[in-house]
Structure 1
Amino acid sequence: CGGSVSDPSGVLQSPNYPGNYPNDADCTWEIQVENNFRVTLTFRDIMMQSGTCQHDYIEVYDGPLHSSPLLGRFCSGSFPTYVSSSNMMSVRFHSDSRYSFRGFQAHYSSIPAGHNTTIQCLPDYMHVVVSRDYLQSQGYSAQRVTLKDSRCRPTVTSQEVVFNIPYNGCGTMQEENNDTINYSNTIRVASSGYIIRRKKNINLHVSCKMLRKSWQQVVYAAEDTVDVDEYQFGRYKMNITFYESPAFRHQVRGSPYYIDLNQNLYLQACLHSSDPNLKVVVDTCVASPDPHDFNTLAYYLVRNRCPRDSSYATYYSPSGHFARFKFNAFEFMSQHPSVYLKCQMLVCRLGDYSSRCYQGCSSRAKRDTSPAEEQVDVVVGPLQLRGGDGPSGSTG
């Protein structure tokens, strides 16, 4: 139950709804809509074990579960509505081992945030747009908008001032907090008065924070001079590619990838980021015949960095942005026409020996990730055994 939700609107409900939910359930939905939109969540039905909400309950968070304010915790009563301050909201449903009821159903939708300054956290840079109409309404000129490093100039159009701020340049600062890797910079808007300055200068502090599975984007103004308070979320850009040999020189181009039983399969995960101080490793890889369901029929190759298949092995990688590994085509594949892989990757700070990237096999649950450690899911496939319906030659 639970998972990532990215549609502009939809329905959340407890497992088996409108039937009784199971005991010992713990489900988290991460709702992420478009940048510069907000999430509105309205509960339409709630029937759970009531009382102090210590046993069965629903929690709503204003962003990611482990690093965002709690908007509400409840198990009965009226049907509340919540609005996020960003384009992300998390909903957690928990039940204990005693009583079971119908559960809940809720509807969510996205609404425009309506701000005059927007920010997107892209793989290599922050994309920040400031409205010229907004600047002019406050008495400021678009020609006096600069970064802390004034050599990095914006693009000024008839309607906007646009900055593409690299994570490793233009004065961008890097900092590690409890659960984030923070890239921050400052956009300065100078007063136009030369002799008598009646207005304060504006400092717009912009930052991208790498959270669990997402980028958090923040914009705020110093000294309360501008009413800007924005949070946006995105995702790490990561891909996994099959290679023909352990030399990792030639990618497999065909899709589906036709293979033989017990054939060695070589994969490379690549993190696309301009920050050289990151390291990526394989945490969990699971195979399934359904690219949308990795629970019902699943075969684990590696789980929590602990190999589950005897053929699984890792290779040396030339950069922290790459993770290389292999396994053999297994009997599970002969039972299904197509098989997909879902791999969860860990991203940590290079040299952070307290993180799971450096600790190897671990029995800790996902929620116990250490500071400055992130998780990204990637699905690859399909894989098909070479046979009567597939080509007889090699793919390349």
Structure 2
Amino acid sequence: TPPARVVRPVLWVTSISSVPAAAGACGGFLSRPSGRFSSPSYPGSYPNNARCVWDIEVQNNHRVTVVFRDVQLESNCNYDYIEVFDGPALSSPLIARVCHGSRDSFTSSSNFMSIRFVSDGSVTRSGFQADYYSRPSNHSTKLLCLPDRMQANVSRSYLQSLGYSASDLVILHWQDVQQCQAQVTASQVTFTIPYAGCGTTQQLDNDTITYSNTLQAAIPVGNGLIQRRPSLHLHVSCRMLRDTWVDLMYVANDNAEVQEVQYGNFAVNMSFYTSSSFAYPVTMHPYYVRLNQDLYVQAEIRRAAAPMALFVDTCVASPSSQDLPSVAYDLIRSGCVRDDTYQALPAPAPGLARFKFRSFHFLHRLPAVYLHCKVLVCRAHDPASRCRGGCQPRPKRDLGSYQEKVDVVLGPIRLQAP
């Protein structure tokens, strides 16, 4: 057996929605600072019954501007049209509906914007072409959502412009100064606010989990009974929405509001374990095993206090780590077990998924095996979620049955020499 180098197992995690859009493709994910996209086959005719969504995500604390250069659609805007959303299309406000002949531009309030193109079943034309670019947003306030906490940064010059000092800004209705006090530098005030502390509240609705808190600055006078300047409230929220984390901060100062929204991915971790106790993850790379040995795998969602469940929908084995393997063997597909040795195992928490299978080698003695798994993230207590649906060889179209699909590639696994 070749000597094993002791490091963490190699793990690739990518969201399905993060695959860049190919030229002429019907929708896709755009993450460069600027770019161009167009309707399918542009400047040729787009197809009937098109349903295309482009998700545009730029770097944190930037905003997205989309400029429609050419829009040639069916003249009736109820038939063929483009919709611009201020964030993910399924859950964000509609900024505008773009119709034939428009040459408008639109700017998001965050670093995320969605564009949806819809055509009906009859007349088609050449479609549209649009450019997008990013620009920095307001630098007075910034918010970052981390795995177990949010970090809110407020410019001291911004506070001073409103008549406040750094010491005036506190977490509203929270008394634990040691845990929740701000860190003050020459330029900014930083609050590190845990999702499970400092008065942070949690709200779960149909497709989001939102963690919220409030910062306040106020200077009372007259023994605390009156004040002569408006209170400053900064409402901060981290929202898990489908496949993304949404960082939301807005400032309420009388009738004035400033909003900053940021988006980022949450993580699903998947590892081999040495035994059915799942006490010790495998740290060898490659992972050398015996033929027909039981292999134990655990997937977990890395997000504190998030009531989410995991479901292993599909796992295929391949001798390649590439995203689209040419040679593959199904262990489980669409929740249906295809390999006799595959067995789902009980997990102590909804945010964990465990299974085992027996090792093998491909014909012609290809040197290694990689696992390509698709893991679904669902609301933990939703009886109608896909995570509770089991085997669905021909799943029905259901937009709300899960929150996220995550693709994981785990390996390589190599057989020990006889």
TM-score band by shorter chain is 0.7 to 0.9
Counterpart pick for 1:11 among 36, 45, 57: 36
CA distance in 2, matches of 1:292, 1:164: 37
CA distance in 2, matches of 1:174, 1:347: 17
What is the one-letter code of the residue matched to 1:169? Answer: G
CA distance in 2, matches of 1:15, 1:214: 26
Is residue 2:247 matched to residue 1:217? yes
What is the one-letter code of the residue matched to 2:109? Answer: S
Partner in structure 1 of residue 52 of structure 2: 27
Judged with a 3 Å threshold, the aligned counterparts in structure 2 of structure 1 residues 319 and 189 are, in CA distance, closer, same or farther, namely same
CA distance in 2, matches of 1:90, 1:37: 15
Partner in structure 2 of residue 280 of structure 1: 310
Is residue 2:378 matched to residue 1:343? no
Partner in structure 1 of residue 109 of structure 2: 85
CA distance in 1, matches of 2:340, 2:236: 47
Q: 1:318 aligns to what SS in structure 2?
A: coil
Is residue 2:374 matched to residue 1:355? no
Structure 1: gaps spanning 5 or more residues: none
CA distance in 2, matches of 1:197, 1:43: 49
Partner in structure 1 of residue 231 of structure 2: 201
Structure 1 residue 47: Cα displacement: 4.1
Mean alpha-carbon deviation: is it higher for 246-255 or for 138-147? 246-255
Partner in structure 2 of residue 379 of structure 1: 408
Partner in structure 2 of residue 162 of structure 1: 190
CA distance in 1, matches of 2:367, 2:71: 40
Structure 1 residue 43: Cα displacement: 2.6
Judged with a 3 Å threshold, the aligned counterparts in structure 2 of structure 1 residues 127 and 105 are, in CA distance, closer, same or farther, namely same
Q: 2:160 aligns to what SS in structure 1?
A: helix
What is the one-letter code of the residue matched to 2:187? Answer: Q
What is the one-letter code of the residue matched to 2:240? Answer: M
Judged with a 3 Å threshold, the aligned counterparts in structure 2 of structure 1 residues 170 and 314 are, in CA distance, closer, same or farther, namely same
Structure 1 residue 262: Cα displacement: 7.8
Structure showing greater relative contact order (alpha-carbon pairs closer than 8 Å, 6 or more residues apart):
2
CA distance in 2, matches of 1:101, 1:267: 51
CA distance in 2, matches of 1:270, 1:133: 42
Judged with a 3 Å threshold, the aligned counterparts in structure 2 of structure 1 residues 26 and 342 are, in CA distance, closer, same or farther, namely farther
Partner in structure 2 of residue 267 of structure 1: 297
CA distance in 2, matches of 1:101, 1:339: 45
Counterpart pick for 1:231 among 261, 265, 273: 261
Q: 2:399 aligns to what SS in structure 1?
A: helix
Structure 1 residue 89: Cα displacement: 0.7
CA contact (8 A) 1:240 1:378 kept: no
Structure 1 residue 35: Cα displacement: 1.4
Residues 114-129 of structure 1 mapped to structure 2, 5 A cutoff? 114-129=138-153
Partner in structure 2 of residue 39 of structure 1: 64
CA distance in 1, matches of 2:379, 2:97: 31
Mean alpha-carbon deviation: is it higher for 229-238 or for 244-253? 244-253
What CA deviation, in whole Å up to 9, does each residue of 1:329-348 have, x standing for no partner? 69799899986625242131
Q: 1:165 aligns to what SS in structure 2?
A: strand
Mean alpha-carbon deviation: is it higher for 152-161 or for 332-341? 332-341
Judged with a 3 Å threshold, the aligned counterparts in structure 2 of structure 1 residues 125 and 347 are, in CA distance, closer, same or farther, namely farther
CA distance in 2, matches of 1:99, 1:261: 60
What CA deviation, in whole Å up to 9, does each residue of 1:153-191 have, x standing for no partner? 111111111111111111111112332212111111121
What is the one-letter code of the residue matched to 1:110? Answer: S
Partner in structure 1 of residue 3 of structure 2: none
Partner in structure 2 of residue 191 of structure 1: 219
CA distance in 2, matches of 1:301, 1:243: 18
Mean alpha-carbon deviation: is it higher for 69-78 or for 261-270? 261-270
Q: 1:28 aligns to what SS in structure 2?
A: strand
RMSD: 3.7
Structure 1 residue 126: Cα displacement: 1.0
What CA deviation, in whole Å up to 9, does each residue of 1:253-302 have, x standing for no partner? 456667899876543222112216333333455678684569x9988765
Structure 2: gaps spanning 5 or more residues: 1-25
Is residue 2:203 matched to residue 1:175? yes
What CA deviation, in whole Å up to 9, does each residue of 1:297-339 have, x standing for no partner? 9887655545566655422112232212345669799899986
Q: 1:236 aligns to what SS in structure 2?
A: coil
Is residue 2:160 matched to residue 1:132? no
What is the one-letter code of the residue matched to 1:113? Answer: S
CA contact (8 A) 1:315 1:325 kept: yes
Structure 1 residue 113: Cα displacement: 0.7
Structure 1 residue 58: Cα displacement: 2.7
CA distance in 1, matches of 2:369, 2:45: 34
CA distance in 2, matches of 1:79, 1:21: 19
CA contact (8 A) 1:210 1:374 kept: no
Judged with a 3 Å threshold, the aligned counterparts in structure 2 of structure 1 residues 150 and 159 are, in CA distance, closer, same or farther, namely farther
What is the one-letter code of the residue matched to 2:90? Answer: H
Judged with a 3 Å threshold, the aligned counterparts in structure 2 of structure 1 residues 225 and 96 are, in CA distance, closer, same or farther, namely closer
Q: 2:89 aligns to what SS in structure 1?
A: coil
Q: How many equivalent pairs are there?
A: 383
Structure 1 residue 227: Cα displacement: 3.4
